[in-house]
Amino acid sequence: MAVIKLENVSKNYQLENQPVPVLDNVTMDIHQGEIMALVGRSGSGKTTLLHIIGTLERPTTGKVYLDGVNISDLNDNQISKLRNQKVGFVFQTNNLLPEFTALENVMMPGMIAGAPMAQLKKRAKALLGAVELGHRETHRPTEMSGGEQQRVAIARALLMGPSILLADEPTGNLDHKTSSIVKDLLLQLCAAHKITMLLVTHDLELAQSLPKQVMIKDGQLENR
Ligand X SMILES: Nc1ncnc2c1ncn2[C@@H]1O[C@H](COP(=O)(O)OP(=O)(O)OP(=O)(O)O)[C@@H](O)[C@H]1O
47 binds ligand X (CB under 6 A): yes
Instruction: State the amino acid at position 150 in one-letter form.
Output: Q
22 binds ligand X (CB under 6 A): yes
Q: Within 62-121, which residues bind ligand X (CB under 6 A)?
A: 92
- Angle (CA) 214 200 155, round 5°: 135
Query: Between 181 and 220, how does the x/- string for binding to Mg ion read (CB under 5 A)?
Result: ----------------------------------------
Q: What does the longest C-alpha to C-alpha distance in the chain come to?
A: 51
Is 2 exposed, middle or buried, given 0-12, 13-18 or 19+ CB atoms closer than 10 A? middle
Q: Among Mg ion, ligand X, none, what does residue 118 contact (CB within 5–8 Å per kind)? A: none
Q: In which element (H, E) is residue 123 found? A: helix 117-130
Q: Among ligand X, Mg ion, none, what does residue 13 contact (CB within 5–8 Å per kind)? A: ligand X
CB of 21 to ligand X, least distance (A): 9
Answer for which of 35, 40, 89, 199 binds ligand X (CB under 6 A) is: 40
18 binds ligand X (CB under 6 A): no
C-alpha dist (Å) from residue 7 to 13, 69, 124: 19, 13, 36
157 φ/ψ angles, rounded to the nearest 5 degrees: -65, -25
Round to whole Å and give the CA distance between 65 and 158: 21
CB of 203 to ligand X, least distance (A): 12
Answer for which of 45, 88, 170, 172 binds ligand X (CB under 6 A) is: 45
C-alpha dist (Å) from residue 37 to 54, 127, 212, 222: 16, 23, 6, 12
42 binds ligand X (CB under 6 A): yes
Residue number with CB closer to ligand X (22 or 144):
22
Round to whole Å and give the CA distance between 1 and 206: 28
Query: Between 170 and 199, how does the x/- string for binding to ligand X read (CB under 6 A)?
Result: ------------------------------
Q: Among ligand X, Mg ion, none, what does residue 43 contact (CB within 5–8 Å per kind)? A: ligand X
Residues that bind ligand X (CB under 6 A): 13, 15, 20, 22, 40, 42-48, 92
